[in-house]
Chains A and B, each alone.
Chain A
């Protein structure tokens, strides 16, 4: 069963079963969707090119062999075909560059965002600051994963819920809202990445990078740091709860009350 699955996946990577995830998630934001669509477009183009080139090779290997008595031909150059197989790939590349450039321009346009969240990377946790609402907290790996991941912990990590992908304080973001995320770091370079919300960007100490998300579906989305940041690089997960706008503002209200209570 499993071997047949592997074969199936090698031949048809997109038809894989859920527990054998083989492809990029399409995600829930405009940026993750264009990334996915572009990924699939290029994937299919390369599959077609691959089939053509490898078939020609295979045909040659099967039929043009000495053991079949095939005599070698004498040709060894042709300016015409060299021009053809320079120009055709160029045209294909232009066809790929146009949608890629369009998508990129869209992804880098952080204007007109409604709320701004500043994310700061630390060794090894994240700080989230909601700049408009003056809400701020740290988020690090949840205790259960943190205990289980120790060398010699003797915990079956397969039984830990969301092993290495769970945090103590999740980020809460509203759906259907353009959220600008400012990224920086306090010590070394980190990278903030939740695959279903689109691409990653580096959090660099002393500099501010930005990206934006506009989450279309409520839910919980998980990711982790994607730039080597020291010994616990593998243990700084990111969890985003996407909720409707009213729920989001309710959450912001609670955070503010808690903060006031704490300060008293």
Chain B
């Protein structure tokens, strides 16, 4: 079958060469690769900002940067990592994987696909350029709470316009994902036969379409408050600063799941492959993902329990937030049940997926603690929260992305990465990620607020440990880059089905797959 496809393809597409190939491409693999490379670059840009933060926090007292610049770093680090690193990485994975997983030749809307990628470099050039303005970049936190964000200098309208562009890119990408999944599946692939990664991305795409316009509305209101005399968030004009927080988090909580649902899909793909056993409870995994997505729209105020809500509101949001533990728990239990009595091997993707389960669950536990409003009054806006969301985002989302890259890289390139180096990268990353973020639980509980450039001396020891961990983590990622380039230099040797236990249509294609993936739809029974 694979030889047939080879003959059918690669003879009738005329692509420009050089840089124009990348600028004009409408091919899902080219665009997927661009998304992934872009994400990697942003991961290092955001990482450097994190290292500025950790270097300053290594010791009490200010040694390196002034507080205003420190605030620009915390703000930019979050914006870059969320919108520049994690989201584009998942869209890149969707671009590469969705067509070859559902038996399609490409994405449904290839030109739109090109556009949604090429918005990103421009948006980030604009956003990052604000750091070189006289008044500096945005410094009010990525959440842009007014009235503080309204005090911003020249960077303010640039930040907002770039957020608009990022939102546009995400919405276009989401439309493409939905159109592709709903229209281009191979005959016989009913919804409940779709690979779980496809399911999680379908749900994520709906979350994007529902939540991104809300963010656009919120930041537009900020813009008109600042420049056109509206008073949406200004109390003296009849507005309410807390209303911004409600609108922002109505976007923000679905956004959190946009960052993690595709990760669930990746882990649910990798665990069965290396356990040599089918995913346990496929149906319940789909329903759990959908439940998490629906719940994400009625829990937003748990990000702002200290804002002074009525008691009934606090109780409502506490209960709905606690409910999220149930579908999330189901997922973890299903992963463990998938491993149970399997026949496991521990290649790099599996190691990252296993670490994901353990460390994401730890982040889930602290999330459950944060849901308890009386205790949250203590946790809120401390390093305990910083520890929590980094546990779900770094060993959560980022580990899943790393696992996905190791898992599918041989398929994408036909070249096998160096397993020993991959494992070394895994162990360094895992050790340092815990060294960085675990002590943050302690200083947070002991009373250290987040977003401060300097701290009382009782927090010094754990901060020093966290900083050492952060630099170790950052340096370990250079090894990842080395592994990638080292792999790309090799000859094409990978088999069609790279992993013994891998299931799915992508493994029926040659490695690397032909330019138009499935020109003839495969039959799925």
Q: Does A174 contact B (CB under 8 A)?
A: no
Q: Does B37 contact A (CB under 8 A)?
A: no
Given contacts A158-B457, A201-B308, contact A76 B277 (CB under 8 A): yes
> Nearest chain B CB to A46's CB is how many angstroms away?
4
Give chain A residues whose Cβ lies under 8 Å from the Cβ of B343. 64-66, 70-72
Looking at chain A's contact residues, the main secondary structure is mixed
Q: Does B241 contact A (CB under 8 A)?
A: yes
Instruction: Report yes or no: B372 in contact with A108, Cβ–Cβ below 8 A.
Output: no
Given contacts A38-B374, A188-B147, A200-B306, contact A13 B340 (CB under 8 A): no
Given contacts A162-B456, A189-B147, A226-B382, contact A64 B342 (CB under 8 A): yes
Looking at chain B's contact residues, the main secondary structure is helix
Instruction: Report yes or no: B357 in contact with A57, Cβ–Cβ below 8 A.
Output: yes
Q: CA of A56 to CA of B334 in the docked complex: distance in angstroms?
A: 12
Instruction: Report yes or no: A22 in contact with B446, Cβ–Cβ below 8 A.
Output: yes
Q: Does A8 contact B (CB under 8 A)?
A: no
The listed residue (B65, B241, B283, B329) touching A77 by CB distance below 8 A is: B283
Give the residue name and chain of the A residue nearest to B350 (CB).
A61
Give chain B residues whose Cβ lies under 8 Å from the Cβ of A35. 374-375, 377-378
Give chain A residues whose Cβ lies under 8 Å from the Cβ of B457. 157-158, 163
Give the residue name and chain of the A residue nearest to B374 (CB).
A103
Given contacts A57-B358, A108-B314, A195-B378, contact A89 B329 (CB under 8 A): yes
Q: Does A131 contact B (CB under 8 A)?
A: no
Given contacts A53-B332, A72-B343, A200-B377, contact A151 B62 (CB under 8 A): yes
Q: CA of A89 to CA of B288 in the docked complex: distance in angstroms?
A: 14
Instruction: Report yes or no: B326 in contact with A86, Cβ–Cβ below 8 A.
Output: yes
Give the residue name and chain of the B residue nearest to A154 (CB).
B61
Q: Does A50 contact B (CB under 8 A)?
A: yes
**Residues 187-235 (chain A) with a chain B CB within 8 angstroms:** 187-189, 191, 193, 195, 198-202, 204-207, 209-210, 222-235
Among the stretches A90-98, A112-120, A251-259, the one at the interface with B is: A90-98
Give chain A residues whose Cβ lies under 8 Å from the Cβ of B240. 206-207
Q: CA of A184 to CA of B378 in the docked complex: distance in angstroms?
A: 19
> Nearest chain A CB to B423's CB is how many angstroms away?
15
Chain B positions 458 through 474: 1 when the CB is less than 8 Å from some CB of chain A, otherwise 0: 10111001000000000
Q: CA of A86 to CA of B276 in the docked complex: distance in angstroms?
A: 26
Q: Does A12 contact B (CB under 8 A)?
A: no
The listed residue (A6, A64, A103, A149) touching B454 by CB distance below 8 A is: A149
Instruction: Report yes or no: A151 in contact with B66, Cβ–Cβ below 8 A.
Output: yes
Given contacts A86-B330, A90-B326, A209-B308, contact A97 B319 (CB under 8 A): yes
Q: CA of A36 to CA of B378 in the docked complex: distance in angstroms?
A: 9
Q: Does B192 contact A (CB under 8 A)?
A: no
Instruction: Report yes or no: A187 in contact with B147, Cβ–Cβ below 8 A.
Output: yes
> Nearest chain B CB to A262's CB is how many angstroms away?
30
Chain B positions 296 through 317: 1 when the CB is less than 8 Å from some CB of chain A, otherwise 0: 0000000000111001001100
Instruction: Report yes or no: B322 in contact with A93, Cβ–Cβ below 8 A.
Output: yes
**Residues 47-62 (chain A) with a chain B CB within 8 angstroms:** 49-50, 53-54, 56-57, 60-61
Give chain B residues whose Cβ lies under 8 Å from the Cβ of A187. 147
Instruction: Report yes or no: A188 in contact with B378, Cβ–Cβ below 8 A.
Output: no
Q: Does B418 contact A (CB under 8 A)?
A: no
Give chain A residues whose Cβ lies under 8 Å from the Cβ of B454. 149, 164, 234-235
Q: Does A105 contact B (CB under 8 A)?
A: yes
Give the residue name and chain of the A residue nearest to B362 (CB).
A50
Instruction: Give the 7 A-B residue pairs with the shortest CB-CB distance, closest first.
Output: A206-B235, A199-B377, A234-B452, A209-B308, A73-B341, A46-B365, A76-B278
What are 22 A-B pairs with beta-carbon distances under 8 A?
A20-B442, A21-B458, A23-B446, A35-B377, A38-B374, A50-B362, A50-B365, A53-B333, A65-B344, A73-B342, A81-B333, A82-B284, A93-B326, A100-B375, A191-B306, A206-B234, A209-B307, A233-B67, A233-B71, A234-B451, A234-B452, A234-B454
